[in-house]
A and B are shown apart, each in its own frame.
Chain A
Amino acid sequence: MGGASLLSALACGVSSSSIGAPPHSFLCPTPNRRRKSRRKVRCAPITAQFELKPPPYPLDSLEPHMSRETLEHHWGRHHRGHVDSLNARIAGTQLEEMELEDVVVASYNKGSPLPPFVHAAQVWNHDFFWRSMEPGGGGKPSGELMGLIERDFGSFERMLKEFKEAASTQFGSGWAWLAYKANRLDVGNAVNPCPSEKDNKLVIAKTPNAVNPLVWDYSPLLAVDVWEVCDFSFLFFLSFFVFFFLKLYSGWQRACTDLPLMFRCKFVLFVQHAYYLDYENRRADYVSIFMEKLVSWDIVSSRLHIATARAAERAREDERRRREDDVEITNREAVEMYVDSDNDSEPE
């Protein structure tokens, strides 16, 4: 947590618990907060603001699949920009005291998003995205998650294929998601994109710009960022690979100067052409690399666990409410019968 506390030290007056710290907590600090509240005394008055959380791994640990420069830029500039804009926009409004997820859903405003929405959603999306990855990730999921994937998609390969397709066909900027659909058909806030009687299943969705499945009351499990920024980062990664390869080749060329010129030219053209061919499928390749080498299935499994627990809790709530309603109805019916019998006894 060294990085996070450093950040909060630098951003004086920013609440380091980041989510909904009410101002009066300063008066009765908890043991954790006491240490930080001393810093607050020296600095500006307490404001409940969101802070930029760093990814749970060092910025260079995802190399060579996602370079440190990419993370520095994507997290350090884009993500940070959204956090700053969000804090600026919600200052002084009632959104200020809400949790980030509540801010996202509230500012979505049933499809007519308010100005803080894009920033809140992008902050949440990027936090989610960084946490969906880990160094040495990839591979296959196991346990309950794998079981559900096989149940809902047929096989892991089919799920991958559908996910890649969703990411590739998202026109413009957006995100591709693997989410767990809750047992609710009417979400109230937005049009449910996958309405069907079959609930409690995994679905793949794609969203434009900053929208995320929270607004449909889904539980997101995995996200991949398909804004063009990511395609370009992947392009830089590819170009590094190609230039490295070309450098090797030129070294070899110096050693074999008696090779015919035609062969050397064709070889270089072939490499360049291959690079351009790669670029054509840049998004598909980027998503493949993400799924094969970066995704953290442990985190996805734990999110699924939370999602299923939440769905089960909701089901129990709904059942309990239905039982209470039933009891109420039967009570009311008794009263009505009493009233009816009174009427019946009176002459018309």
Chain B
Amino acid sequence: MGFHLLSPSYCCGYQASPPISHGLLRFRPVTGIPKPSPKGQLHQSRRASKVLAYYGLTTPPYKLDALEPYMSQRTLELHWGKHHRDYVDSLNKQLVKSPLYGHTMEELIKVTYNNGNPLPEFNNAAQVWNHDFFWESMQSGGGKLPQGGVLQQIEKDFDSYSNFRDTFVESAMALFGSGWVWLVLRTEEKKLSVVRTSNAICPLVWGDIPIIGLDMWEHAYYLDYKDDREKYINTFMDNLVSWHAATVRMLRAEAFVNLGEPKIPVA
């Protein structure tokens, strides 16, 4: 159940390496796994039996200075290049000694969440996924209004776009400490809603489908906005959020949640 736009899985044909279904818009080969040589795979697999990395750091689908002046290149260099990379490296280090193996990222998050008693790998796994989702939730020239189906659904569930926007901003401002704010499609209630989560938690653990995510950890905005969180959130909504990505995610989500059901009143 992937919510990325494309997810090719990289099968390198070795017995020891897992299929890595963590590709996104662009695929980055995982470092450390040797390429197949023309000599023959059997010969290679004997040497390649030690797996060196499990998940890779994917790059945002734009250059690091593409979001200027709303999110500086410096922020992206640190946020993606250091924080996100740290999470990936820490996760890989943890997985070397752990029995969790061969999961997709979403599966790993749900397994390590362990119904509310998170395992040590949860924080890193969830943060890797959250950040991937965050980069894809933004685009240069973003913001403005959603189009088509997303706008219709927002107007159906929030009464109007501005209502939704106010709810989103309010929810983000009310978050204390580190966390994330999401526009999710709730699978049971079959409607969109705004949720905020602490630290690394993401709505996948409850089976909901996130459509847009905003990082409210201080490292995301402190360099550009210091403590003016309201300006950061408003800038995100007006200039950064990628409704294109949201539309694609809604399309995928509709394969799992039937939004077209009429509201039949219970007798």
Q: Which residues of A contact B (CB under 8 A)?
A: 73, 77-78, 81, 118, 171-174, 208-210, 227-229, 231-232, 276, 279-280
A280 CB contacts on chain B under 8 angstroms: 82, 86
Docked complex Cα distance between A174 and B82 (Å): 21
Closest 4 CB pairs of A and B: A228-B218, A209-B177, A172-B178, A172-B199
The answer to whether A172 and B198 touch across the interface, beta carbons within 8 angstroms, is yes
Secondary structure dominating the interface of A: helix
Docked complex Cα distance between A208 and B217 (Å): 14
B170 at the interface (CB under 8 A from A): no
B217 CB contacts on chain A under 8 angstroms: 172, 228
A232 CB contacts on chain B under 8 angstroms: 218-219, 222-223
The answer to whether B82 and A279 touch across the interface, beta carbons within 8 angstroms, is yes
B159 at the interface (CB under 8 A from A): no
Report the tally of A-B residue pairs with Cβ distances under 8 A: 45
Count, chain B residues at interface, CB 8 A: 18
Closest to B124 in A: A171
Docked complex Cα distance between A276 and B83 (Å): 12
The answer to whether B219 and A73 touch across the interface, beta carbons within 8 angstroms, is no
Checking B82, B179, B222 against A228 with a beta-carbon cut-off of 8 angstroms, the contacting residue is B222
The answer to whether B219 and A228 touch across the interface, beta carbons within 8 angstroms, is yes
Secondary structure dominating the interface of B: mixed
Q: Which residues of B contact A (CB under 8 A)?
A: 78, 82, 86, 123, 176-179, 198-200, 217-219, 222-223, 226-227
The answer to whether B176 and A209 touch across the interface, beta carbons within 8 angstroms, is yes
The answer to whether B219 and A171 touch across the interface, beta carbons within 8 angstroms, is no
Which of A81, A172, A209, A276 gathers the greatest number of chain B CB atoms within 10 Å? A172
- Shortest A238–chain B CB gap in Å is 12
B226 CB contacts on chain A under 8 angstroms: 73
B219 CB contacts on chain A under 8 angstroms: 228, 231-232
Checking B177, B198, B200, B227 against A78 with a beta-carbon cut-off of 8 angstroms, the contacting residue is B227
Closest to B198 in A: A172
The answer to whether A171 and B177 touch across the interface, beta carbons within 8 angstroms, is no
The 11 sampled A-B contact pairs (Cβ below 8 Å) are A171-B123, A171-B199, A171-B200, A172-B217, A174-B177, A208-B199, A210-B177, A227-B218, A232-B219, A279-B78, A279-B82
A231 CB contacts on chain B under 8 angstroms: 219
Docked complex Cα distance between A5 and B178 (Å): 35
